[in-house]
Amino acid sequence: MKQVVDMSWIDKMAFETDMDGHKVVIDASEESGGSDLGPRPKKLMLTALAGCTGIDVILILKKMKVVPEAFNVIVEADDTEEHPKHYYKAKIIYQFKGKNLPKDKLEKAIKLSGEKYCGVAAVYKKAMEMETEIRIIE
Amino acid sequence: MKQVVDMSWIDKMAFETDMDGHKVVIDASEESGGSDLGPRPKKLMLTALAGCTGIDVILILKKMKVVPEAFNVIVEADDTEEHPKHYYKAKIIYQFKGKNLPKDKLEKAIKLSGEKYCGVAAVYKKAMEMETEIRIIE
């Protein structure tokens, strides 16, 4: 299946697109000559990854009847020194909050997302070192 | 340099984060059990690429004193059939509108973004087939 994104230049360094009926604006900071109408584009790569695996994990856990009180997906990525500066390493931290959460099920959900469901991770794994960490807060 | 994104689960399948002071929400469609509060995450990979190279190109062209009437960056990506379904091929179409636009300068700006500046393209090139196309509308 082919997927398409069409971004229109608005003004200065700002671009806009419609994604699934939602307006998304990307812009550079004011210091870089932009107007800060939206976030910077590169970090969106990390948001795509966090959102993709986050949705997988919460969906799998729901099927396992596991509902955390709170859940965060934190992605930390390292940038190269040389140009083009790009991510060469990323760590996904899955942080759950809740009493008596079954660690084995949380781990299984994370593994299933990484190996079977998350299309963003599947691409990034080919291009960078990836690791995962699980944190449970009672 | 390390970059970090921290996404919080809101409800059902929706996640939220703050990016450079802008709230970004990711969600699944209603048919998939979400509430459609924001776009799907995987396609954000394409938005990141279009925004990244779009900002580069418009900035380089500005330095060259070239200002198109309109400019779009269209990214088309092909998904694998097998799971995890992920992009294995992408085409970036740079579409400029304007009279007497200098094609050599447009091409140079695109080349510089792809080879020297765009950190998103640098990652994706390691993981998928990438090609570019230039369209000029008078």
pLDDT over 90 (residue B1): no
B1, B16, B18, B22, best to mutate vs chain A, most A CBs in 10 Å:
B22
User: What length does chain A have?
Assistant: 138
Task: Give residue B47's pLDDT.
Answer: 98
What is the average pLDDT across B79-93?
Answer: 97
Chain A contact for B57, CB < 8 A? no
Task: Give residue B135's pLDDT.
Answer: 98
Task: Give residue A52's pLDDT.
Answer: 98
pLDDT over 90 (residue A62): yes
Task: Give dist(CA A53, CA B83) in Å, integer.
Answer: 14
Contact A44, B19 (CB under 8 A): yes
- According to DSSP, the β-strands at B129-137 and B87-97 are parallel
Nearest Cα of chain B lies from the Cα of A12 at a distance, in angstroms, of 8
pLDDT over 90 (residue A1): no
Nearest Cα of chain A lies from the Cα of B37 at a distance, in angstroms, of 8
**In chain B, what percentage of residues exceed pLDDT 70?**
100
Chain A contact for B8, CB < 8 A? yes
Chain A contact for B22, CB < 8 A? yes
What type of residue is A54? G
Contacts of B33 (CB under 8 A, 6+ apart): A59, B12, B13
∠ CA A120-A122-A126 to the nearest 5 degrees?
A: 115
pLDDT over 90 (residue A29): yes
Chain B contact for A124, CB < 8 A? yes
Q: Which residue of B has its CA nearest to A112?
A: B84
Band (pLDDT 50/70/90 cuts) for residue B49 is: very high
What is the average pLDDT across B94-123?
Answer: 98
What is the average pLDDT across A21-38?
Answer: 96
- According to DSSP, the β-strands at A2-11 and A70-79 are unpaired
Q: Which residue of A has its CA nearest to B80?
A: A1
In degrees and rounded to multiples of 5, residue B82 shows phi and psi of -85, 160
Task: Pick B50's closest partner by Cβ from A5, A87, A124.
Answer: A5
**In chain A, what percentage of residues exceed pLDDT 70?**
100
What would the pLDDT profile of A73-104 be if each residue is shown by its tens digit? 999 999 999 999 999 999 999 999 999 999 99
Task: Give residue A77's pLDDT.
Answer: 98
Nearest Cα of chain A lies from the Cα of B69 at a distance, in angstroms, of 10
What is the average pLDDT across B90-101?
Answer: 97
Q: Do B84 and A24 touch (CB under 8 A)?
A: no
Task: Give residue B79's pLDDT.
Answer: 96
Burial class of residue A128, CB neighbours in 10 A (0-12, 13-18, 19+): middle
Contact B124, A127 (CB under 8 A): yes
Task: Give dist(CA A50, CA A72) in Å, integer.
Answer: 9
**In chain B, what percentage of residues exceed pLDDT 90?**
99
What is the average pLDDT across B92-120?
Answer: 98
Q: What is the mean pLDDT of chain A?
A: 97
pTM of the model: 0.97
Task: Give dist(CA A43, CA B44) in Å, integer.
Answer: 11
